[in-house]
Structure 1
Amino acid sequence: MEPIIEFKDVSKEFEGNVVLKDLNISVKKGEVFVLVGPSGSGKTTSLKMINGLVEPTNGNLYFKNKRIKDYNIQKLRWQIGYVLQQIALFPTMSVKENIEVIPEMLGWNKEQRNKRVDELLQEVDMDPEQFRDRMPSELSGGQQQRIGIIRALASEPDIVLMDEPFSALDPISRASLQDLVLELHQKLGNTIIFVTHNMKEAMKIGSRIAVMHEGKLIQCDTPDEIQKNPANQFVEEFFDETTDEVYTQTLETLYNGGFYQSAETADVALPSLSMDTSLSEVFDLLAEQDAFILKRDGKPIASINRSDVFRFLSQEG
């Protein structure tokens, strides 16, 4: 399959400092390609080169086999969605107006825009009647980021760039939005290039992962291959270090800290988890469920809901 994006011997210097060195990457159409690495590794600089926000000092980038520098940069950006960590919704515009910004620039008529806005809101479980005319200030952080994601998808772009989009969110919202990105990708089949400093996130969402360090590409492969065969000690240690400590704790930590409710009033239809379940699994479950029952030796001993976990996370922070 022809690559949709190619970096060929790309280097970048800022005021004499080399931030990228001889980067060669090919991104296939329709994959979720993740750039991962610590701060200063060059991953965000690489991402910004794709939509022309940063130009390489040496080498070339190609989009659909044409050099990016040979495109009309404004028209190119209309083909590329962009999701930032800082959400960046326009505060004086409604949810609907935020979502339809690029389709309106592209000349979509009002009926087309209205239909697209409602379709996308439904995709992220936000009732159009309820949310269409709200202002960003009336939304939670997670809801704002959902709007940021579907705004980037509104014009049906060839590529969506995501720069650390969930790093400022709590683990439950983060898990929920990771699932959302994967669901939308499965439905729409677009190409996503995703930047993160968290290897756990990269492993969850990436079709392939490019591990970067000090401006160089260290390893590029599938999540399974990187986990089984890290290229060097840096990749192995980075994998271990970026697994947040809170993720490795278990439900026993919450229970012993008193972050639970009585099991007697809990809905018996709720899913149940054992004491040794990791909080990583808990966050994934609570992205879909409001609560669950905690069991010890097969017997219900407590019920835990999202509020209990948020209280625990606040204490941990």
Structure 2
Amino acid sequence: MINISNLKKQFGKTIACDIPSFTVNDGDIVGLVGNNGAGKTTLFRMMLDLLKPNEGIITIDNVNPSVSEEWKSQTGAYIDDSFLIDYLTPDEYFAFLGKICDISSEELSSRLQQFKTFANGEIFGQNKLIRNLSAGNKQKVGIIAALVRMPNLVILDEPFNFLDPSSQSSLKHLLTEYHAKSNATILISSHNLQHTTDISTRIALMEKGHIIRNLNNDNEEAKQELIAYFEQQI
């Protein structure tokens, strides 16, 4: 469970995040949506202790990420390509992750099999440095790296960015299947309402740093409300 209490982050006079209270329950798939500058990435960075809040607290399973690293072993995340080691090939990078996470090469190879459709022949066995991959393939490497550890908590910032339509569809199946098998808690941010509502059980709508709506989405019931909201912004 993730609990947020009186969380505030400000850059100069700009309020990037102001969330009095918000809870993500175990097993939720939460889609975080909002226009550019809504505060989605800022919130994720504070969850991952990459950015310090000015006020308030976030806890992951009652652990404050800023004071303990207990949460890290059960968390897989990808925000942007700064998470990658770009002078390695994808295979070298996955092998490195396997070593630091104490996953045997045999087990790692077995786990990577589930990502073959998503990789689409462009990631595994390619003697190409990550830095020389397309933006979409870098995105795939980061997402695979976040999931291959089989974490209980997955945080992905704009995971559909840079992916072609087939890869976007493949990613939706990948995330829903991963959730079905593991009951992991998954948080994604996205500008793509269709993909987000397709896979999320809850939708948090952010605007100017605030979560202004917390919508149930068991039957994609949030979609029309979101469409109506964003149409009003035009």
TM-score (norm 1): 0.63
Q: d(CA) in 2 for partners of 1:199 and 1:93?
A: 34
Aligned-partner residue type, residue 222 of structure 2: I
Paired position in structure 2 for 1:257: none
Aligned-partner residue type, residue 118 of structure 1: S
- Which of these residues, 203, 226, 247, is aligned with residue 222 of structure 2? 226
Paired position in structure 1 for 2:87: 92
Aligned-partner residue type, residue 54 of structure 2: T
Q: d(CA) in 1 for partners of 2:171 and 2:8?
A: 33
**1:58-207 matched pairs, under 5 angstroms:** 58-72=55-69, 76-86=71-81, 89-106=84-101, 108=102, 112-125=103-116, 131-132=124-125, 134-136=127-129, 143-207=137-201
Superposition deviation, residue 235 in structure 1? 6.4
Gaps of 5+ in 2: none
Q: d(CA) in 1 for partners of 2:97 and 2:9?
A: 30
The C-alpha deviation readout for 1:138-164, integer Å capped at 9, x for no partner, is 866655433322211233323111011
Paired position in structure 2 for 1:237: 229
Let me know the Cα RMSD of the aligned residues.
Answer: 2.9
Task: Please tell me whether residue 16 in structure 1 is matched to residue 13 in structure 2.
Answer: yes
Question: Contact (CA 8 Å) 2:2, 2:25: kept in 1 or not?
Answer: yes
Question: Contact (CA 8 Å) 2:60, 2:71: kept in 1 or not?
Answer: no
Q: d(CA) in 2 for partners of 1:120 and 1:142?
A: 21
Gaps of 5+ in 1: 243-317
Q: d(CA) in 1 for partners of 2:44 and 2:106?
A: 31
Superposition deviation, residue 213 in structure 1? 0.7
Question: Contact (CA 8 Å) 1:83, 1:152: kept in 2 or not?
Answer: yes
Q: d(CA) in 1 for partners of 2:163 and 2:233?
A: 20
The C-alpha deviation readout for 1:23-67, integer Å capped at 9, x for no partner, is 422111122111110001111111111110112111111110132
Aligned length: 228
Higher relative contact order (CA 8 A, sep 6+): 2
Question: Contact (CA 8 Å) 1:87, 1:148: kept in 2 or not?
Answer: no
Question: Contact (CA 8 Å) 2:136, 2:161: kept in 1 or not?
Answer: no
Aligned-partner residue type, residue 97 of structure 1: E
The C-alpha deviation readout for 1:192-250, integer Å capped at 9, x for no partner, is 1111122222111211110111111111122234236x3xxx862317889xxxxxxxx
Paired position in structure 2 for 1:56: 53
Larger Rg: 1
The C-alpha deviation readout for 1:60-94, integer Å capped at 9, x for no partner, is 1111013233214xx54343211235485433323
Question: Contact (CA 8 Å) 2:81, 2:142: kept in 1 or not?
Answer: no
